[in-house]
Amino acid sequence: MKHKGTVALETERLILRKFNAYDAEAVFRNWASDDAVTKFLTWPTHKTVDHSAGYLEFCLNSYNDADSYQWGIVLKETGELFGNISVVKINEDLEAVELGYVIGRKYWGNGYMAEAVKSVIAFLFEEVGVNRIAARHDTNNPNSGRVMQKAGMKYEGTYRQGDRNNQGIVDCAVYSILKREYYNNGNTENT
């Protein structure tokens, strides 16, 4: 893999960009403070803007590493930061990564996350040279699985009691897409 770090990406409706220190209020307001949004996540609901600022400090420090991928998701139409998509695990040996993502409740059901995931998948296959991209979700959160399906990922199976999130120990469904599948779906290989 040829790591490039968090590079700005653009879709029809979205800009995926690095976070900055001024994003704490938007992170807190738009998703991190909402118990309904964090219900199936692995990190607790933020209780204060300072908690969100601490998360942003982690992101900003991670940008020094070429293998760090942490995007804030911005709606072009309004300029509002309303979500996050990131590479949460990297396996260099397998040339594989795992994605994690979250958007504010106000933005659910508009196809924004599938659009963001597709953009990140294209970047990781075409620019970084990843071979496998995976994601997982609590089986009680099927909307997250629909995002994965819309982004071209295939269901692999369910790990029974194989994950932990804010609900405790849970079953998790795993999805993935392989480089060859991505290019067989009409994308042009440029490697």
Per-residue pLDDT of the chain (191 residues), as tens digits, is 999 999 999 999 999 999 999 999 999 999 999 999 999 999 999 999 999 999 999 999 999 999 999 999 999 999 999 999 999 999 999 999 999 999 999 999 999 999 999 999 999 999 999 999 999 999 999 999 999 999 999 999 999 999 999 999 999 999 999 999 999 987 766 44
3-state secondary structure of 139: coil
Residue 146's pLDDT is what?
Answer: 96
Beta strands in the chain (DSSP E): 9-10, 14-17, 70-75, 80-91, 96-103, 132-138, 154-165, 168-178
Cβ(133)–Cβ(125) below 8 Å: yes
Is 3 inside any structural domain?
A: no
Q: Does residue 86 belong to any structural domain of this protein? A: yes
Report which DSSP code applies to 1: -
- Residue 64, domain CATH: 3.40.630.30
Q: Quote the domain boundaries for residue 38.
A: 9-184
Q: Is residue 162 part of a domain?
A: yes
Query: Does residue 133 form part of some domain?
Result: yes
Residue 190 located in a structural domain: no
What are the strands, taking DSSP E only, across 59-115? 70-75, 80-91, 96-103
In this prediction, residue 191 carries a pLDDT of 43
Confidence (pLDDT) at 189: 64
d(CA 132, CA 125): 8
For residue 45, CA distances in Å to 34, 64, 85, 137, 168 come to: 6, 27, 17, 18, 14
Query: How many domains would you assign to the chain?
Result: 1
Residue 143 lies in a domain: yes
CA 8 to chain centre: 14
